[in-house]
Chains A and B, each alone.
Chain A
Amino acid sequence: MAKMDFDDTNLPSDAAQILALKKILPTDLSADELRQLTSQVRAQSIFSARTADEYLLQLYQKKIGGILHPVAGEGEATTQFNPAYVRQAVKEFLADSGYQPEPEAAGTIKDLSSDARINLIVKTNTELAQGQGMWMKNQQAAILDEFPGQELFRAESREKPRQWLERWRLAGAQTGDPIGTGWTIAGDRMIALKNHDIWNWIGSSDLFPDALDVIWPPFAFNSGMWVRDVSRGEMEEIGLMRRGDDAPEPMNIEDALKAFADKISKLAEAA
């Protein structure tokens, strides 16, 4: 059935298409101020705190697009799609444009040419596009039927890992559903139905200041967390579904982001 090929097939990449459709949003706003934009605007834009250079953002969009869909021309090397060479290209662009960081900011996240800043922008935007692509492909009845659940898990180690179990409990409590109803903690595994309300909260900056205000991974800046499918059989075993239960309903992205924004607004009003 399966034939493993190593070739140059140009399969479409959802993540690359998502990124390519984003609009450039040059801005002098700080990270906190950017949070005031709606999640729809942020999901459809390429931006970075205090980055008003349109050409720099265009370069990021192009280079990150290459990471997501690395198709080299005839005889060309693929090193250009390596994140290290993307970082180098950004540094060269900034050097050519005469950029100089403020002395006290040099080498920090506020320095547009620092490794820390460039790595964060490249990784966050790459993964947001991949996470969104995965979320969108989840919204097919057959996929939701066979894989109705999703697990939040640690994909990458971190020196100072966040307390995600604690966040999961807080996000779960926000849904109003008691643990074991739509979401649960099985051992130390964080599992919920796809499209359950908990996914609206786990990445919400109203609950967690470092969150990215998205309903797909990576959920928070520099997070090592990701999601993976949980099959119907396993969802039944852990008690989140019973045999014969309906699968989660597919959602379209506009409705999902609107629902997310509405909930955040209500929480802000209540605060």
Chain B
Amino acid sequence: MISLLLKSDALIDLQKKAQAIGKETDAAMVGARGAANLVRNHLFNLDQSGANQMGGVRTHFYSSAAKSITEPEQIGEGNVAFSITKVGLAQRWLGGTITAGKGISSSSGGPTKYLAIPARSEAYGKTPAEFDDLTFVPTRAGHAMLVQALQTEMVKGKGKDFHTREVGGLVMFWLTTEVTQQPDPAVMPTEDDINEAARYSMDNYLSRLLATGGAN
């Protein structure tokens, strides 16, 4: 979960203006909404910029991250915060090492020994347990893979014709004990841009209130 805390005391001038008309919380909420909107639009744009690398069925990861942004909440006097609750976004943004052993294996019921990395588009967005034809194959480097078992498949031809073909043998998941991902700063707008979006919305709101006589 990514939490974004907007501390309005850093915008002293705007905060003083807001306090003078008793609108410090409203102004902070408006500023946070402006910042949240910037982050939402950034994530929606990322979603529209392309399909997943393996070309499988799209999960619309970034769109669902944008939708997962919680609306700003007041956290103490004049401070507001919002979160992005989409699991996996922080990992893509900040990078880091993930190790097996925290989850529960659906096959053994014990702690997981491996992380499963999709190897083909058919495996993207799925869990190994959703396949009923995978075989565990260890490799020399201490890793392993889940391979689709060989099987005979019926294929419909023209008219009422059917024929059979042998399928399987494809690596569906690579198994590894840990994965290290590099950070990707492009996943989020820059801190400066977020600051500016908050300031801009807050300033607009307060300027209008002050021009029309302040609090109502």
| Chain A residues with a Cβ under 8 A of chain B | 1-9, 11-15, 67-71, 75-85, 87-88, 91-92, 115, 126-127, 130, 133-134, 137, 140-143, 145-147, 155-157, 224, 226, 228-229, 231-233, 244
* CB-based A-B contact count at 8 angstroms: 163
Contact pattern, B 140-172, Cβ under 8 Å of A = 1, otherwise 0: 000000000000000000000000000000000
For this complex, 27 residue pairs linking A to B, each with C-beta atoms less than 8 Å apart, are A1-B11, A1-B195, A1-B199, A2-B35, A6-B3, A6-B93, A6-B94, A7-B1, A11-B75, A69-B85, A76-B103, A79-B103, A84-B125, A84-B126, A84-B127, A88-B106, A130-B67, A142-B23, A142-B27, A142-B29, A142-B205, A143-B29, A147-B37, A156-B58, A226-B44, A226-B66, A228-B44
Q: Is there an interface contact between B30 and A70, defined as CB atoms closer than 8 Å?
A: no
B114 contacts chain A at the CB level, 8 A cutoff: no
Contacts A11-B3, A91-B130: A229 and B94 contacting too (C-beta < 8 A)? no
Q: Is there an interface contact between A2 and B198, defined as CB atoms closer than 8 Å?
A: yes
Most chain B CB atoms below 10 A, which of A13, A77, A231: A77
Q: Is there an interface contact between A12 and B204, defined as CB atoms closer than 8 Å?
A: no
How far is the CB of B144 from the nearest CB of chain A, in Å? 18
B83 contacts chain A at the CB level, 8 A cutoff: yes
Q: Indicate which residue in A6, A80, A147, A233 contacts B2 across the interface (CB closer than 8 Å).
A: A6
B5 contacts chain A at the CB level, 8 A cutoff: yes
Q: Is there an interface contact between B67 and A146, defined as CB atoms closer than 8 Å?
A: no
Q: Is there an interface contact between B70 and A11, defined as CB atoms closer than 8 Å?
A: yes
Q: Is there an interface contact between B102 and A77, defined as CB atoms closer than 8 Å?
A: yes
Q: In the assembly, what is the distance between CA of A186 and CA of B47, in Å? A: 23
Q: Is there an interface contact between A232 and B35, defined as CB atoms closer than 8 Å?
A: no
Q: In the assembly, what is the distance between CA of A264 and CA of B191, in Å? A: 46
Nearest 3 interchain pairs by C-beta: A137-B71, A142-B26, A77-B103
Q: Is there an interface contact between B71 and A2, defined as CB atoms closer than 8 Å?
A: no
Q: In the assembly, what is the distance between CA of A67 and CA of B63, in Å? A: 14
Q: Is there an interface contact between B4 and A146, defined as CB atoms closer than 8 Å?
A: no
Contacts A12-B73, A143-B33: A83 and B59 contacting too (C-beta < 8 A)? yes
Give every chain A residue within 8 A of B201 (Cβ-Cβ): 146, 231
Q: In the assembly, what is the distance between CA of A82 and CA of B130, in Å? A: 14
Q: In the assembly, what is the distance between CA of A127 and CA of B65, in Å? A: 11
Q: In the assembly, what is the distance between CA of A6 and CA of B66, in Å? A: 16
How far is the CB of A163 from the nearest CB of chain B, in Å? 19
Q: In the assembly, what is the distance between CA of A143 and CA of B191, in Å? A: 23
Most chain B CB atoms below 10 A, which of A1, A5, A78, A79: A1
Give every chain B residue within 8 A of A84 (Cβ-Cβ): 125-127, 130
Q: Is there an interface contact between B47 and A156, defined as CB atoms closer than 8 Å?
A: yes
Q: Is there an interface contact between A3 and B5, defined as CB atoms closer than 8 Å?
A: yes
B16 contacts chain A at the CB level, 8 A cutoff: no
Give every chain A residue within 8 A of B110 (Cβ-Cβ): none
Give every chain A residue within 8 A of B126 (Cβ-Cβ): 84
How far is the CB of A229 from the nearest CB of chain B, in Å? 5
Q: Is there an interface contact between B130 and A13, defined as CB atoms closer than 8 Å?
A: no
Q: Is there an interface contact between A78 and B87, defined as CB atoms closer than 8 Å?
A: yes
Most chain A CB atoms below 10 A, which of B70, B201, B204: B70
Give every chain B residue within 8 A of A229 (Cβ-Cβ): 33, 37
Told that A13-B70, A126-B64, A130-B68 touch, could you supply 7 new A-B pairs with CB distance under 8 A?
Answer: A1-B199, A70-B87, A71-B1, A76-B103, A79-B103, A91-B130, A157-B48
Q: Is there an interface contact between B205 and A70, defined as CB atoms closer than 8 Å?
A: no
Q: In the assembly, what is the distance between CA of A1 and CA of B11, in Å? A: 6
Q: In the assembly, what is the distance between CA of A84 and CA of B48, in Å? A: 21
State which residues 104-151 of B face A: CB under 8 Å.
Answer: 104, 106, 112, 125-127, 129-130
Q: In the assembly, what is the distance between CA of A125 and CA of B53, in Å? A: 28
Give every chain A residue within 8 A of B104 (Cβ-Cβ): 77
